[in-house]
């Protein structure tokens, strides 16, 4: 396994060495007083020169190596690996009031949270800003329903979606110890934007 990783990384290192060698052998390198635009232009033309020296076959091989490196990385990590060490996960019970859930999200600077249904002992979806937009749209269409909106619980969000004619987003989940590669495949197959 170690030799495979070295083979994948090696072409990248060779390109970096080529870039490094070409930069130092160049007779005209940007001076510290050069403008930002001339430095950017130099880098752009340098990249074009490197790419023009590659054959289509070399480009295809490099792309395949890059894809394989990405696949290997995704296979080597699971969902827990992408969370910061000090990450705090907030899970909402579906019987919680929508307005209370919104306050908690705002207080913790969080944009989404998983929903837990204690009656079924299962995750019931993901609360996102789209759910709050749906509630706003519902209230705009039914201004006489303030009492309903004020007492709306998270498990009532599906009723709001139906009332305004919005299709529910697919609820897709994967075990946290499954690889990120499997999660990505599942996400692509389901067209889900969130897991």
Res 37: pLDDT = 56
CB-based contacts of 91: which residues, under 8 Å, 6+ apart?
113, 114, 115, 116
Q: Which pLDDT tens digit goes with each residue over 145-180?
A: 999 999 999 999 999 999 999 887 777 778 888 999
Q: pLDDT band for position 21 (50/70/90)?
A: very low
User: In this model, does residue 40 exceed pLDDT 70?
Assistant: no
Rounded to whole angstroms, the Cα distance separating 161 from 141 reads 12
Q: Structural domain tally of the chain?
A: 1
Q: Which pLDDT tens digit goes with each residue over 61-76?
A: 999 999 999 999 999 9
Residue 97 counted as domain residue = yes
Residue 174 counted as domain residue = no
User: In this model, does residue 4 exceed pLDDT 60?
Assistant: no
Scan for tokens 């009656």, then name that residue.
Answer: 119
Residue 141 counted as domain residue = yes
CATH of the domain at 138: 3.10.580.10
Residue 115 counted as domain residue = yes
- How large is the average pLDDT for residues 103-123? 91
Residue 153 counted as domain residue = yes
Q: Which domain holds residue 106?
A: 86-169
Residue 192 counted as domain residue = no
Residue 15 counted as domain residue = no
């Amino acid at each position: 396994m170690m030799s495979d990783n070295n083979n994948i990384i090696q072409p990248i290192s060779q390109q970096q060495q080529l870039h490094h060698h070409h930069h130092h052998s160049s007779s005209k390198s940007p001076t510290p007083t050069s403008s930002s635009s001339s430095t950017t232009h130099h880098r752009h033309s340098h990249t074009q020169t490197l790419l023009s020296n590659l054959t289509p076959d070399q480009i295809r091989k490099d792309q395949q190596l890059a894809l394989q490196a990405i696949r290997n990385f995704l296979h080597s990590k699971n969902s827990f690996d992408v969370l910061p060490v000090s990450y705090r996960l907030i899970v909402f019970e579906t019987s919680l009031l929508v307005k209370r859930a919104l306050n908690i999200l705002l207080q913790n600077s969080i944009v989404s949270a998983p929903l837990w249904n204690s009656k079924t002992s299962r995750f019931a979806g993901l609360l996102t800003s789209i759910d709050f937009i749906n509630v706003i749209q519902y209230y705009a269409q039914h201004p006489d329903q303030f009492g309903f909106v004020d007492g709306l619980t998270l498990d009532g969000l599906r009723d709001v979606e139906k009332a305004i004619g919005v299709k529910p987003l697919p609820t897709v989940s994967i075990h946290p110890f499954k690889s990120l590669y499997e999660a990505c495949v599942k996400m692509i197959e389901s067209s889900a934007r969130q897991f």
